[in-house]
Structure 1
């Protein structure tokens, strides 16, 4: 059909028009299939699309003009120059976004003539002590909270993480843990926790029932009937918090919406883990803060999510997010689509990273990047400018390692480090980033590679299980022959 259509158009139009027009239709078809119909585009089709574009560009050159190698390099240099300039602007906007977001409580307090809110970037988190809603007797109201933590194996420093939740300065809360296997290695840790903190209601749910391909969401759904309170506070199993965590969350919690938290690394043994830690505060968090400043976020982070049972039921319960890889992202998205608020807390929790190999680091980052690409393709594409160090180096290289190229590379690299310090260290209180700031440029080169690799391949691995990414970020389990 395509061939005869080509001949038909060629019968009434010049070849110089037909070839570019046909190529344009082909490219639009591929992009439409990928980003609108959510079809899986394999590597060969992407390669074919690139070759079609490149071939048409060569054909469309004037007859008296040829594309020399020097001309090609010049065009590439300009391309990376534009991306480098965009990166520099993005870093400045990130600093402004962080200052605006975290400084807002002090400005409001000063305008009201009140003492500034207590903000401390210490080991346990970034704490904020705003007023709570008043109860009937004029005192502060502390609503009871159910903390849900799905488990799959014992994480690094697991006991210390869970003990931080048992030490909350809060009148009424319970902790519900859940596993999908009665032989899970995390069960002895919870048994010890129950013995050491008898004053805290701690439950352990063991159930292999599944409501979808995402095992974490299935575990959460199995835990839900044991949650006795209306407000649910869901945390990843590697999260550690300070004693005023629940108070701070409940103070900001929108009863008819969702609240989520930024996070930073609390421990990161080994260089690959430190590379991941630096990326959290200097790459991930700035993007979130820019989105927040641009009009608010429409996604959530599994590190910490507060939601009421009523709101959860409104979006379809856990079953609505069970088919997806990025379940936290989808939960926030569904809440926002329901017309309810998605709020970003100023409380920063800590994630305790285990020791990673370089391979493990790349696999984890690739899973994350592919999940973002599937759920928010334009967001993933735009995240390219976060890797300014790598982009400015490519500009430097394609400028023939000129002095001006070196100046651009050095300037953008310095701006990148300044942004990492202002956002990650100053505002998020990241001690690991503070002591490993020079890993940020190295992280940028890894991130550029991972960003590119995320466009190819649909397989992701999570805690020993392999899945295939489908349309709209949905996943299907994939059996691996051994």
Structure 2
């Protein structure tokens, strides 16, 4: 008996609806509640140089940088770098130096440009002043707990560990659109990484934190190996993996601010993230279509309603039952994911009405990110389409010019 093409297409839609429901359930289970902490056994103390590239002022820049000054680690150096002598972030660093005179805080002002990635140029200039064996990189908008350095550097005691990286939770700074942007991180990005990690993937590296030994950095060719890379955080960890070293996802979850005040600025930021994912993992990007739960729940519900007539149900009883089961289970799983991603109960109820909007917007952004060859980062337009060339120690991504 030949199966009609229309029936095959219908079952394909059912399969996608069920896959989205399964993903939501797995993501809800994989995500820990914020605040859950794992014990870390310290095997010794190692001096740390923390590199913080800065560019301009952010709403909570001082408050976020303060958290790095208040570490309990016994020996660490804080290096802040800017590329312009008139960058307003300089005043924030001077304020930190005055407020924490006991901290080893150094400001590097260096306008040299080494490649197309200006953040990496900043890191190259700062790295010359780093004095310690362990290097920790962290973006400017990151806030951490006092034991952060202790915990993120602990896995480096294992010689097989190349890079330690951290996931992050978002806190909105401002009004409506920062709240929507925080859901992007808390209820899509972080859960998707948790699911991939649970499935055995270690191909990641996040600018929220990258900790590595100085010898590892030298082995991949230094920051110079990343000077023309768009996804420099990902490629730093990838180069270490090429050397046979492991990437460790730390139990530490740091905080980041979402400050984009308008739909347009939020769209540009999230489009940059999605196109960056497409550039480093095209197959993984394609599979993201099942991670936007609400559109598939809506499609499944509408399809199930269309099969509600007696004749349709009699013709496709298994399909109708599968759709209704998947839709109801998916709704429960999506609410559970939202609950597990919420920091506290008020956030759960406050942001629950935004969940369908967030998922629908993600679906549209995914479609948009499938096309286009550039992203916008801090006002600069950078290419996404890359070619890959072989260097002495690793594969290096070179953007087409």
| Greater mean deviation of Cα atoms: 314-323 or 367-376 | 314-323
Compared with structure 1, are the counterparts of its residues 434 and 174 closer, same or farther at alpha carbon in structure 2 (3 Å cutoff)?
farther
- Equivalent residue number for residue 464 of structure 1: 379
Gaps of 5+ in 2: 309-319, 388-396
- Equivalent residue number for residue 130 of structure 1: 40
Asked if structure 2 preserves the Cα contact closer than 8 Å seen for 1:268 and 1:432, the reply is no
- Equivalent residue number for residue 393 of structure 1: 298
CA displacement at 1:333 relative to structure 2: 1.3
How far, CA to CA, are the matches of 2:344 and 2:164 in structure 1? Answer: 21
Compared with structure 1, are the counterparts of its residues 239 and 430 closer, same or farther at alpha carbon in structure 2 (3 Å cutoff)?
farther
Secondary structure in 1 aligned to 2:153?
helix
Indicate yes or no: 2:207 matched with 1:302.
yes
Q: Of 221, 244, 257, which aligns to 2:147?
A: 244
CA displacement at 1:204 relative to structure 2: 0.9
- Equivalent residue number for residue 450 of structure 1: 365
Secondary structure in 2 aligned to 1:347?
strand
Q: Of 316, 330, 336, which aligns to 2:241?
A: 336
Secondary structure in 1 aligned to 2:106?
strand
Asked if structure 1 preserves the Cα contact closer than 8 Å seen for 2:72 and 2:147, the reply is yes
Q: Of 177, 182, 186, which aligns to 2:80?
A: 177
CA displacement at 1:432 relative to structure 2: 4.8
Asked if structure 2 preserves the Cα contact closer than 8 Å seen for 1:264 and 1:430, the reply is no
Indicate yes or no: 2:323 matched with 1:420.
no
TM-score in terms of structure 1 length = 0.72
Asked if structure 1 preserves the Cα contact closer than 8 Å seen for 2:120 and 2:232, the reply is yes
Q: Deviations over 1:146-194 (max 9, x none)?
A: 1101011112200000011111112111110111111112111111111
Compared with structure 1, are the counterparts of its residues 184 and 309 closer, same or farther at alpha carbon in structure 2 (3 Å cutoff)?
same
- Equivalent residue number for residue 178 of structure 2: 273
- Equivalent residue number for residue 142 of structure 1: 45
Secondary structure in 2 aligned to 1:295?
coil
Which structure has greater strand proportion?
2
Asked if structure 1 preserves the Cα contact closer than 8 Å seen for 2:27 and 2:192, the reply is yes
- Equivalent residue number for residue 90 of structure 1: 23
CA displacement at 1:416 relative to structure 2: 1.3
- Equivalent residue number for residue 94 of structure 2: 191
CA displacement at 1:392 relative to structure 2: 2.2
- Aligned-residue Cα RMSD (Å) equals 2.6
TM-score in terms of structure 2 length = 0.86
State the structure with bigger RCO (CA 8 A, min sep 6), 1 or 2.
2
The number of residues matched between the two structures is: 376
Indicate yes or no: 2:57 matched with 1:154.
yes
Q: Of 241, 258, 265, which aligns to 2:163?
A: 258
CA displacement at 1:96 relative to structure 2: 4.1
CA displacement at 1:75 relative to structure 2: 5.9
Compared with structure 1, are the counterparts of its residues 312 and 352 closer, same or farther at alpha carbon in structure 2 (3 Å cutoff)?
same
CA displacement at 1:271 relative to structure 2: 1.8
